[in-house]
Structure 1
Amino acid sequence: MQDTKTRDYIKEVLKNMPEDWVNLTTHRLDIYNEKLAKVQFLEQFETLYINETTETSALKVLPTAYDYIRLGHPLSSVLEWGIAKEQSLDAEFVISFQSKTVPILSILRTNLLEGKNTQINYKGTLPADFNADIIKSVYGYTFELNKVENASAVAPFDGTSIYVSEDDTIGDFNINASVDFHISLYGHLGSILIVNGEKNASYISDIQHVRRRETVSMTPSNALVALKAFANASTLNSTAPDVTAHKDNVSTLLKDITNTSITPLVASSGLSIQYAIMMGLVNEAQDKHPNKPIKFIVPPNCYGGTNDQARRVAACLDNVEVVDLPVDGENDMVSSIDKVLTTIASQDAVPYIIAEIPTNPRVEVPDLQNLKAVLSKQRQTPNGDTAIDPVFILDQTFCPNVHFLGEEDILATVRTISYASGSKFPSGGKCTAGYCVANNKAKALMPNIALHLSLCDNEATAQQYEILAAQLPSMLQRIKDAYVNTREFVTFIKETLPEAKLNFVSEDLANEGFTPSVFSLDLPTKGSTEEEREAYKRELNLKLINLMITEIPNESKFCVSYGQLKGCYWTIPATSTQGTTKEGDKDYIVRASLSPNLDLEKHKEVFTKFVNSIA
C-alpha cells in the first residue's frame, strides 16, 4: 500500500521549497559538516515531517545536504528519503544517480577490489552505453550477464546479484530476496539504486564515493521532476528534451574561448570529464602500448577530487600507478616534470600528466617556454628507443580564458587536453557541467575520451547545456572584471597587513593573460614552538573568515566556490578542496575568490577591522 502521508507531505514541501534547492550548485561550509551531511539534513527534515512543518523558512535553515551536487543535494535526498519510507528502509539504502551506468560500475568496482563474483540480471535491455567488453578490458571489472523477465525471476547466485530495469514510475519496486542491488533506470532523468538488506550495507559508502568522484547524483532539476511524479504517483514522460541547439551553441562558444577547432566534450561535472579523460587515456595506452605500465603524474597538493580520483583509478588496475609531481612553493613544476619524465622513460612507461595552471592554492604559473621545452624533450628508454611522449592534461579552471592549444599557442606542439569545471566561471556557479578540449596534436585522443564519457553516461544534461549556452558569452568579461576586484583587494591587503604572505599572479603574468580572481593568504603567526605557531595561524584563519561572513552575510560566504556571478568566497583548502589529500600535503591557509559584482569597499573595511583586532 502506498504511503500517502509521505507523498502528501512531499507535495507540500515542493510547493514551499527554497529556490536554492533547485538553483544552488555549491555548499555553504558554515552549515555543512561533511561527516554528518546527509544524516544531519534528513534527521532535521524528519523532525519537520513528524511535526507536519513545510514552511519555507523552516526548510531554508536545514543543514547542507551532502555537497551540491555530486554526492547529493536537498531534492535528491528527499527523493531517496521518500522512496525509503515506502520500502521501510533507512534512507542511505536508496541512492540516486544522473547516470544510468555508473550505479552498476560502482558495485563492480567494490567487487573487483574484494574479489567477489557479480551477476547483472536485466529486464528488456541494458543501457545503450553499457559496453560489456570495454568495461571488462579497460576497467578490469568481471561479471556475467543474465536476461530475465522480471525481478522475481532472479535466482540465487554465488556472489552479488544486480537487477536492472527501465521503469516509468518512481518508487514502484518489487524487491526479490535474491537481488542484492535493484537499479531502476528513468531515461534522461537518471537512475535510482536500492541496496537490499543489511548484508549489503557495507557497499553504501563505496557507492556514494563513486557518485562523488566519478559522476553526480540525479541533478536538482531532474530530481524535482522525479519527486513530482513520485508524490503524485504519476507516470514519467520518458521523452528527452531536444538539446541540439544549445549543444551546438556551447560547442561553438568553447572553440572560440579556447582557440581550438576540435569539438569539445561536455560532462555532468568537472570530475565527470576528468574521469572520461583518465579512462579514455588508459584505453588509448592499452591499444597503442599494450602491456606497458601507465603513470598518472599528479601534484600531491592539487584539488582533492583530482588526487583522489587518480588514486582510485590506479587502485583498480595493476598496470596503472600515480606518481607525485611537486609543483608549489620551493618546488618548480618544470624541473619536477623533467625529473619525473626521465624516470618514467627509464621504465619505458606511458606518461600522463595532470596539472593545474595556475596551481591551486598557491596560484603559481610555471615558465611556459621552459614547460613547453621539457614536455617536448625527447628521452630514451634503456634499450635506446624513443620514450613515449607525455600527454599534458591541463586543469584550466582558474584561468579558462588563457589560450594554450591553438596552432600559434604555447602548447601547440605538445599533446595537450585542457579541461575546466563548469561550476566556476563557465556557468557562473549555475551548474556543475565540465568540459574538455584538445589541440590538434591530441586530436586522436578525443574519440576514446568521448567513448568513456558515453559509457559512463556522464554527458551534460539538457539543462546544463542550456545554462552554459546562456552564461559562456559573458565569461571573458566576467573574468576581467573579477580580476580587477581581486588585484585591488590584494594590493589593499599588502598595504594593510604587510607581514602576511600573499599568493597571487604578478602584474607581468596578468599582462600575459593570467587573470585569476583567486588568491591565498598566509597570515602572520606567533608562538614559541612550531605547533603553537601553526595552531595560532589556524585560529586566525577562521577568525578572518567568520568576521567576513558575519559582517557581510549577503556577499561574503564560507564556501569552496570560484567564478560566481556575485559575492566573495572564503575557504581553507586543507579542510575543503584538499579533503582527501595526504595530511602533510595540505595547505592550512586562507583562499579567497572574488566575483565581478561585490562591495569591495565594504570588504576592505571589514579586513581593516580584522587587522586592528590582531594588532
Structure 2
Amino acid sequence: MHTAFERSATLNGNTMISYVEKVLENMPADWLNLTTHRLDIYNEEQAKSQFLEQLEVLYRNNVTDKTALNELPTAYDYIRLGHPLSCLLEWVVAGVNDLEAKSVISFSSKVTPILAVLRKNLFEKKKTRILYTGKLPSSFNAEMIRRVYGYTFDLKEVRGVEDIPAFDGSTIFVAPQEDIFTVKLSSGIDFFLSTHAQFGSVLLINGAQNKGYVSDIQHVRRRETIAMTPANCLAALRVLTGELSGPQGGDVEVNKAVVIDALKEITGTETRALLGSSGLSVQYAIMMGLIDHALENHPGKDIKIIVPPNCYGGTNDQARRVAACLDKVEVLDLPVDGGNDMVQGVEKVLAEVAKQDAVPYIIAEIPTNPRVEVPDLIKLQEALEKKRTTPNGGIAVDPVFILDQTFCPNVHFLGEGEVLSTVRTISYSSGSKFPSGGLCTAGYCVGNKLAESLMEKVEAHLILCDNEATAHQVEILARQLPSMNQRIMAAYTNTREFVNFVGEVLPEAQINFVSEELAAQGFTPSVFSLGLPTKGNTPEEKEAYKRALNLKLINRMITEIPDESKYCVSYGQLKGCYWTVPATSTQGTTKEGDKDYIVRVALSPDMDLDRHKEVFLQFVTTAI
C-alpha cells in the first residue's frame, strides 16, 4: 500500500521537488555532520520508517521549518546504516517510481548491493542473473565473487530493459545513470541497481514477491558496507532540485597521501595503510582477503575465525555472517575479559585449531570492550608465536592476529621491535571515532611487515566490494588525523579526572578503566564502564534494580547537560560526553548471556568537566 506521498509524487513531481528544495534549505546541520545519533529518540524496530512517517506528515502540511525538521526522530543510530538524508533520497526515488520507501535502499558502494542479493539467494537456493547495460562497476570481479564468496550467477550484457527474456530466479538489472532518481522498471526485473560514478548506487526492489529481501539487504548494508554518505546524498538531492553539484573531496590523491603518511607516524609502521568507507567495511575486506589467502595457500583446510563472544556486535555478527556462507569457515569463541584471560584463551583455542589442522584468524580488541582490559602483551606475543604441531606431526598454520585498535589507535603494536611485530598482524580502526573526531565513518587498516602479502588480498577485496573511502571522507581524515594523538591525550586526561571523581564520591561502584601503569605504557582510552551499586533480595531483583539505575543516571546526565551529554554509542568525538549501555547498543547482536548491562561513558577533549561532576554528585546524593 502506497503512502499519500508516493501516490502524489508521480502525479505532481514539481510539488515534491519544490518541497525537497525547501527541506534542504532548512535542514539541521546534524543531518550532514553527525555520524552517530541519540538513542533516547530512536526506535530500532522502526528505523527509517518512523522518520519517514513523520516527514510525510510535514510534507502533507507543507511544513519545512528547521524546528519541525529537527524534532523528527532518529532514523538510524549509526549513520553508516542510514541517516536523514539517505532516507530523504530513498523516499524521493520511491515516490518517483511508485514504490514503497522501504523498497529503495541507497549504498555508497556500487557492488555490495549485488552481493546482498546473491547472499540471500545462496540461502534460498535460488538462481540469479545479472543483466547490465553499458559497463558493470569497474571493481566487479565475477571470478573472485564465485571463488571466494561462494555465490553463483549468470552474467549478461543487454541493450535495455525491454531486452529481458523470462528467467526462473532473480534478475538484477545494473545500469549506470546520471539520473539516479528515474528508472524503467518492468515485470522482468526484480532488482534495479542505478549506479552513479560519484554518489554510489540506489537499489530498487521490485514486486511483492521480493519484499522478503528488504531486511536482508538492509542487514548487508549494516554489516558489510555503508549507506550513501550524507555528503553524496545531499549532492544527489541538489541535482534533483536543479542545483549543480561538483565533485566532493578536493584532490583525493593528495589527501590520501597526507592520510597514509599520518598513519605511518601514528601506527609506527612502514607498510601502506588501506582506507575504507567504515570500520566494518575494512573488517569485511580483512575477513574476505584472509579467506582468499587461505584458499590459495592452504587448499582444503578449514578456516577458524576466533572472536570474543561479547565484543562489538558488528564484529561478532559479521564474522558469523561470513561463516554462514562458506562450508569451510567456522567461528570459535574467545572469552577475553570480565574474569577471562585473553592469553589463556588464545593458548587454548590455538591448541584446538592445531589439532584440527585448520587456519586460525583471531579478532580481538585491545583494550577490550566494554571492560577496558589489556592483556599481558608479552605473554600474548608468546602465545601467538608458539609453534604448534598437527596430529600427523606437521607444523600447524600460524595465526593471523586481527587487532581492533579503535579504543587506542595511538599505541604502537606493529612497528619494528614492537610487541606484535613478530606475529602476522593487521590492525584496524573505526574512523568515526578518534581518526575523524566523529565527522565521517571512514576506517583504515595497517599491517606489519609479516602481513604484507595478506594486505594485498585485503586491498583486492576492499576494491572488489567498492568499499574504499570516498573522496570527501579522505579529505576529512586528512584534516583530522594530524591532531588525533593530541585529542586522545586531552580526552584521556578528562576521563582520568572523572574516573577518579566517581571513585571518590561512589567508592562502592565497580569502575573498569586502565590503570595508571597501563596509561604510562601508552594505553590512554577515553572510555570507561561503570557498574552501579545495587540492592535486592534475589539476583533477579538486584539485576533489575541495577538496570533501572543505569537508565536513571543516563537520563539525569542528558537532561541536565543537554548541550554536551548524549545517550549515544560513540566516542572519540570532538566535543561532549556520550553515555550508553553496551547490552542495548554496541552488543546488540551478542548472545544474551554475554551482554554487559553496565554504563559505558565516553569523554571528549572539549567538555565542561566540572558541570558533569556536579550533576553526577547530585545523582549520587539523591538516587543512591
Is 1:612 aligned to 2:621, yes or no? yes
* 4+ residue segments displaced more than 4 Å: 234-241
Rounded to whole Å, the distance in 2 between the matches of 1:41 and 1:384 is 60
Rounded to whole Å, the distance in 2 between the matches of 1:589 and 1:174 is 51
Instruction: Give the alignment partner of residue 85 of structure 1, picking from 89, 92, 95.
Output: 95
Instruction: Give the alignment partner of residue 481 of structure 2, picking from 472, 476, 494.
Output: 472
Residue aligning to 1:263: 272
The alpha-carbon deviation at position 362 of structure 1 amounts to 0.2
The alpha-carbon deviation at position 85 of structure 1 amounts to 1.0
Amino acid at match of 1:489: F
Residue aligning to 2:413: 404
Is 1:393 aligned to 2:428, yes or no? no
Distance change >3 Å, CA 240–CA 474, structure 1 → 2: closer
Amino acid at match of 2:412: H
Residue aligning to 2:4: none
Rounded to whole Å, the distance in 1 between the matches of 2:78 and 2:378 is 38
The alpha-carbon deviation at position 56 of structure 1 amounts to 0.6
TM-score, length of structure 1 as denominator length: 0.99
Rounded to whole Å, the distance in 1 between the matches of 2:78 and 2:316 is 19
- Structure 2: which 5+ runs fail to align? 1-9
The alpha-carbon deviation at position 118 of structure 1 amounts to 0.2
Rounded to whole Å, the distance in 1 between the matches of 2:57 and 2:46 is 16
Amino acid at match of 2:537: S
Amino acid at match of 1:70: R
Aligned-pair Cα RMSD in Å? 1.2
Amino acid at match of 1:366: P
Residue aligning to 2:221: 211
Rounded to whole Å, the distance in 2 between the matches of 1:509 and 1:86 is 57
Residue aligning to 2:322: 313
The 5 A counterparts of 1:69-218 are 69-218=79-228
- Structure 1: which 5+ runs fail to align? none
Residue aligning to 2:385: 376
Residue aligning to 1:574: 583
Amino acid at match of 1:412: S
Please list the CA deviations of residues 121-177 of structure 1 after superposition, one character each: whole Å capped at 9, or x if unmatched. 000111111000000000000000011001121221100011001001131211011
The alpha-carbon deviation at position 240 of structure 1 amounts to 8.8
Rounded to whole Å, the distance in 2 between the matches of 1:155 and 1:180 is 13
User: In 2, are the aligned partners of 1:93 and 1:196 still within 8 Å (CA)?
Assistant: yes
Residue aligning to 2:368: 359
Distance change >3 Å, CA 381–CA 414, structure 1 → 2: same
Residue aligning to 1:53: 63
User: In 2, are the aligned partners of 1:300 and 1:582 still within 8 Å (CA)?
Assistant: yes
The 5 A counterparts of 1:3-18 are 3-18=13-28
Equivalent residues, number: 614
Please list the CA deviations of residues 41-82 of structure 1 after superposition, one character each: whole Å capped at 9, or x if unmatched. 000000000000000111011111123322110011001001
Amino acid at match of 2:45: K
Rounded to whole Å, the distance in 2 between the matches of 1:84 and 1:514 is 48
Amino acid at match of 1:570: W
Rounded to whole Å, the distance in 2 between the matches of 1:152 and 1:28 is 46
Rounded to whole Å, the distance in 1 between the matches of 2:337 and 2:247 is 49
Secondary structure in structure 2 of the residue aligned to 1:591: strand
Is 1:423 aligned to 2:432, yes or no? yes
Rounded to whole Å, the distance in 1 between the matches of 2:216 and 2:190 is 15
Rounded to whole Å, the distance in 1 between the matches of 2:318 and 2:248 is 33
Please list the CA deviations of residues 525-563 of structure 1 after superposition, one character each: whole Å capped at 9, or x if unmatched. 010111100000000000000000011111111100110
User: In 2, are the aligned partners of 1:187 and 1:238 still within 8 Å (CA)?
Assistant: no
Please list the CA deviations of residues 212-254 of structure 1 after superposition, one character each: whole Å capped at 9, or x if unmatched. 100000000000011111233x898789963110000000000
Secondary structure in structure 1 of the residue aligned to 2:149: coil
Rounded to whole Å, the distance in 2 between the matches of 1:443 and 1:181 is 38
Instruction: Give the alignment partner of residue 438 of structure 1, picking from 417, 427, 447.
Output: 447
The alpha-carbon deviation at position 602 of structure 1 amounts to 0.7
Secondary structure in structure 2 of the residue aligned to 1:151: coil
Amino acid at match of 1:455: L
Residue aligning to 1:25: 35
The 5 A counterparts of 1:537-552 are 537-552=546-561
Please list the CA deviations of residues 94-134 of structure 1 after superposition, one character each: whole Å capped at 9, or x if unmatched. 11000000010000000011110000000011111100000
Residue aligning to 2:5: none
Rounded to whole Å, the distance in 1 between the matches of 2:20 and 2:576 is 32
Amino acid at match of 2:427: S
Amino acid at match of 2:484: M
Amino acid at match of 1:483: Y
Please list the CA deviations of residues 391-440 of structure 1 after superposition, one character each: whole Å capped at 9, or x if unmatched. 00000000000000000111110000000000000000000000000000
User: In 2, are the aligned partners of 1:570 and 1:593 still within 8 Å (CA)?
Assistant: yes
Residue aligning to 1:248: 257
User: In 2, are the aligned partners of 1:415 and 1:442 still within 8 Å (CA)?
Assistant: yes
Amino acid at match of 1:143: F
The 5 A counterparts of 1:62-73 are 62-73=72-83
Rounded to whole Å, the distance in 2 between the matches of 1:196 and 1:114 is 18
User: In 1, are the aligned partners of 2:174 and 2:192 still within 8 Å (CA)?
Assistant: yes
User: In 1, are the aligned partners of 2:248 and 2:472 still within 8 Å (CA)?
Assistant: no
Secondary structure in structure 2 of the residue aligned to 1:437: strand
User: In 2, are the aligned partners of 1:24 and 1:68 still within 8 Å (CA)?
Assistant: no
Secondary structure in structure 1 of the residue aligned to 2:80: coil
Residue aligning to 2:352: 343
Rounded to whole Å, the distance in 1 between the matches of 2:300 and 2:475 is 43
User: In 2, are the aligned partners of 1:162 and 1:182 still within 8 Å (CA)?
Assistant: yes
User: In 1, are the aligned partners of 2:575 and 2:606 still within 8 Å (CA)?
Assistant: yes
The alpha-carbon deviation at position 33 of structure 1 amounts to 1.0
Please list the CA deviations of residues 457-499 of structure 1 after superposition, one character each: whole Å capped at 9, or x if unmatched. 0000111111111111111011111111111111111111111
Please list the CA deviations of residues 341-400 of structure 1 after superposition, one character each: whole Å capped at 9, or x if unmatched. 000000000000000000000000000000000000000000001100000000000000
The alpha-carbon deviation at position 188 of structure 1 amounts to 2.1
